[in-house]
Chains A and B, each alone.
Chain A
Amino acid sequence: MALRLIASSFTAPGADLRWDDDFLCAERARLGLGRRTDRMTAAVLSALDRLEGRPNDAPLLFGSMLGVQSRITALQNDLIDFPEDQIGPVSFSCSVHNAVPGAATIQFGMKVPVFSLAGFDRLPERVLSLAEAVLSAGDADHALVILTEERSAFADRAMRLHGTDPMEFAAVFLLGREEEGGEAFRPPPGLDYFRWIRSLFSI
């Protein structure tokens, strides 16, 4: 079964592909998010909110190589700075890999299966392959796919070692089955994750 792209949405304001703080601040206010909502969560919720025709009953597939870096870094800083004391509770619970899609389900009331995937080799292909499997099982008409990365000192280093200039983005795709029409959707084999994202959104 071939996947079809129904709609997509993207946030990566700023010429250097770093989320712009003013933009995220405005999105936090627009979406009624707490002021402490982290950057990746705010960007993903913004992209989801802007997705045309977003259904609330579509399984949610989240893919990120490096996860929610601001929270992970905060947690590590906590462990470094206060080895003798307890860490902050929010930095742990919001640093887990599925915290961002969890926040999305809460924000939009999506009571759906959630798949939070991580990996370094061909991550977009793997996420879309699972979306295909989910739709093939016939339990849902659509699947929502989120691909997102956030910069940090560690992430910049990891991205460079992965062969790309550091960038941060939240890309959301609403996918359907072949019979629904729409554009066929599959990353070209062997295409680099970051280059593919840049090409998709004409960055």
Chain B
Amino acid sequence: MIHRMPFEPVVTGFAHLSCAGATDADALALFRGERPPDASRPARDVIDSAISDPVFYLDSFQNAPDGPRTLAMIRAAVARALDAAGLTPDMLRDSATGCVVGTTIAQQFTDTSYYARLREDPGMEENGPVEQFLNSNPAESIAREYNLTGPLHTVSNACSSGADAVSIAALCLLSGQCERMIAVGADELHRTPVAGFHVLGVTSPFPCRPFDSARAGLNLGEGAGVVILETPDCARKRGRAPEFALRGFGMSCDASHITAPDATGGGMKRAFRDALSRAGLAFDDIAFINAHGTGTVLNDQCEAAAFAGLAEEAGLAVPPPFLSTKRFTGHTLGAAGTLEFIFTMLMLRDGFVPASPGCKTLDPALPCAPLTSPLTLPAGTRFAASSSLAFGGTDTVLIAERLG
């Protein structure tokens, strides 16, 4: 039984780097259609890119790059988020601050050339890449950089890792283990997942079209999102008046298949119910949902079934409006859940929710439809949700609140 949280962790700062841009203004201009998606590039102003072009609409897995650069994105985004939160390194060192990073690539040794050399000569003396790997765990790296003394976690729950990082950060605050958490989701475009998704037959040769009958799969992307969460007391003591809070979160899993989401949406519904219980809200309190919306058939079936099922349980004719922002960013894997939670907050602030990009012809097989025209939110709109799905059957829902 999930109960209402004793307090809502407040968001005192955030930062995002992705194909949607590196500033709030960039992202909002994209959402509002004031600049075309193809004008955006992966945050080159911040990241010393090893990639000459964003391989956003890959037509061949052989074109995929071989990292690593996730840690560079994390460090850049963390610095920006701390700045937005008004936090200096001294302030972090002097308080119980922790860090949780959600990622897929950055926690696995993926240096294929080293594997090849080791296979050729098992007794070789070269250890540099392994030593570098053992010293590059993302959460531990951020902790060393900022002398953090709070909880440290690197979570790798596949594509829900970023959302799960936010949930874990909240659990650490709610349990009293610390008063401030840096929650990160980040992943680079890397040949391993590119090759993997390609062979699964779920990558689209054109920009993705979530919930559209002509969808052809997902586009891979890269990025980093960082959310600074604090207890309300911690924020108040240093004179911050946060604009947003994490009102609720819920996690579950399908327990049905290692890669395919449950088409009935069972796990997603459980995660949503838990998030609503923690938030003390009803489904119709949610103004809109930023769905996982990768653009694969099974993702669309799962989320549409979950949203329609939750609406039926709540006695609603239709679920709250929903959209996917994956067409703006590509599927950024471990970054997606954090980035999309941030985008959800930006839309609440802006009062504008775009039509689900790429969805022109609704899939008639889905029990409910995404937003087909932009939505202007009434003044005072407070709550919106962001949902994530992942390999392993993981489902996570985050609920953002815009504070009055």
Contact = CB atoms under 8 A, between A and B. Distances in A.
A98 B157 contact: yes
Interface in A126-161: 126, 129-130, 132-134, 136-139, 153-154, 157-158, 161
Given A92-B200, A137-B175, A116 B134 contact: no
A76 interface: yes
B112 A79 contact: yes
18 contacts: A72-B109, A76-B110, A99-B392, A102-B253, A102-B258, A105-B392, A114-B157, A114-B253, A116-B157, A119-B153, A120-B135, A120-B137, A136-B174, A137-B171, A137-B175, A139-B2, A139-B3, A154-B109
Contacts of B1: 139
A92 B156 contact: no
A73 B199 CA distance: 18
A109 interface: yes
A157 B139 contact: no
B198 interface: yes
B154 A130 contact: no
Contacts of B134: 120, 158, 161-162
Contacts of A129: 151, 177
Given A105-B255, A112-B253, A133-B151, 9 more contacts: A66-B109, A73-B115, A76-B110, A99-B258, A114-B157, A115-B157, A117-B154, A118-B155, A158-B133
B195 A86 contact: yes
Nearest to B195: A87
A73 B108 CA distance: 11
B293 to A, nearest CB: 20
A116 B334 CA distance: 13
Interface residues of B, number: 68
A121 interface: yes
Interface residues of A, number: 59
A184 interface: no
B172 A133 contact: yes
Interface string A6-20: 000000000000000
Contacts of A89: 196, 199-200
B164 A115 contact: yes
A106 interface: yes
B104 interface: yes
B107 interface: yes
Contacts of B256: 106
B297 interface: no
B130 A158 contact: yes
9 A-B pairs closest in CB distance: A102-B392, A92-B196, A97-B156, A136-B175, A113-B251, A133-B175, A118-B107, A98-B392, A76-B115
B34 to A, nearest CB: 37
A84 interface: yes
B186 interface: no
Contacts of A200: none
B158 interface: yes
B187 to A, nearest CB: 12
B266 interface: yes
A80 B104 CA distance: 21
A158 B108 CA distance: 12
A105 B393 contact: yes
Nearest to B66: A79
Interface in B111-166: 112, 115-116, 118-119, 122, 127, 130-131, 133-135, 137, 139-140, 151-158, 164
B8 interface: no
Given A110-B255, A115-B168, A86 B156 contact: no
Which residue among B158, B175, B270, B390 has the maximum number of chain A CB atoms within 10 Å of its CB?
B175
A154 B115 contact: yes
